[in-house]
Amino acid sequence: MNMTTYLPLYTKGAAGIPALAIDPACILYLPFWKKDGVSCISDDKYGHKITRSGPISTPKGWYFDGTDDWGEGPNTALFCPDEVSVIVWANQTAANTNAILLCRYNCDWSTFYTGWRLYAHSNSCFDFTYSDGSYPPVFASSSAVCTQGIWNMYAITHNRVFGTKYYLNGKYINTVNDTRAMSNYNGPLNLGRYNWFKGTKGEALMFSRVLSATEMMDYYTLTKGRYL
């Protein structure tokens, strides 16, 4: 299928892959809108196996019921790099508490304090939490109010120089200046288990480098036509 029919300026070449997803630092490109079946392979150079348990495949992505739908990727240290950028297009139709957008962490913070998670709050904000292995984990609130029931592009960048930068729909929101290291959680990539997400996820990307503000806005501009 020629995805340029649906995504003007979005694709690069016949494979229909965004230019940014071909970046050598791209460690995950998962367009949920073109993935069906119980398992699928991510469209990045690593070809991660992703297992779907419950979400319904729709033309705009995977729909999660907010109760017991989730997805899972591989257990690899690749997903806990020294610096990271994460982008998730999602339409959260119910603001469940701490609903997971994408994460790699143990759900029991009181015992393990490892990994990271990008999630949306019941108060309509979204946050990135990570740990260096000590207690308490870093809680880095974006202070960005996200309208529920519409598509949003949630994004963060993180490294030990400047901390965590937040972007909503391509626009820079703020920076949280905590520069501790991110510990490696020995577990799988989590697409919504434990803190259940309700709504549709369109795509998820991760990079082992910090994307610039220009790259964030460009990606939003070139992909919003699929969702808005």
| Domain presence at residue 19 | no
The rounded distance, in Å, linking the Cα atoms of 175 and 143 is: 10
Confidence of residue 8 (pLDDT cuts 50, 70, 90): very low
Q: What is the pLDDT of residue 113?
A: 65
Range of the domain at 72: 27-227
Does any domain span residue 8?
A: no
In a domain, 90, yes or no: yes
> Residue 90, class by beta-carbon neighbours within 10 Å (0-12 exposed, 13-18 middle, 19+ buried)?
buried
- How crowded is residue 108: how many other Cβ atoms within 10 Å of its Cβ? 10
Tally the C-alpha atoms within 13 A of residue 97's C-alpha that lie toward its C-beta. 0
Residue 51 in any domain: the answer is yes
Token pair listed for 87: 């982008």
**1 within a domain of the structure (yes/no):** no
Fill in the amino acid letter for 69.
D
Q: Would you state the structure tokens that stand for residue 172, as one six-digit string? A: 């820079």
Q: Which residue has the tokens 């036509």?
A: 225
> What confidence score (pLDDT) does residue 123 get?
76
| 126 in a structural domain | yes
Here the CATH number for the domain that contains residue 186 is: 2.60.120.200
Q: Is residue 72 assigned to a domain?
A: yes
Question: pLDDT per residue over 21-72, tens digit each?
Answer: 888 899 999 999 999 989 999 999 999 999 999 999 999 999 999 999 999 9
* Least confident span in 9-13, 113-117, 165-169, 212-216: 9-13
Confirm whether 144 is domain-assigned.
yes
Domain count, the chain: 1
Q: What angle (nearest 5°) sits at the alpha carbon of residue 27, between those of residues 10 and 14?
A: 35
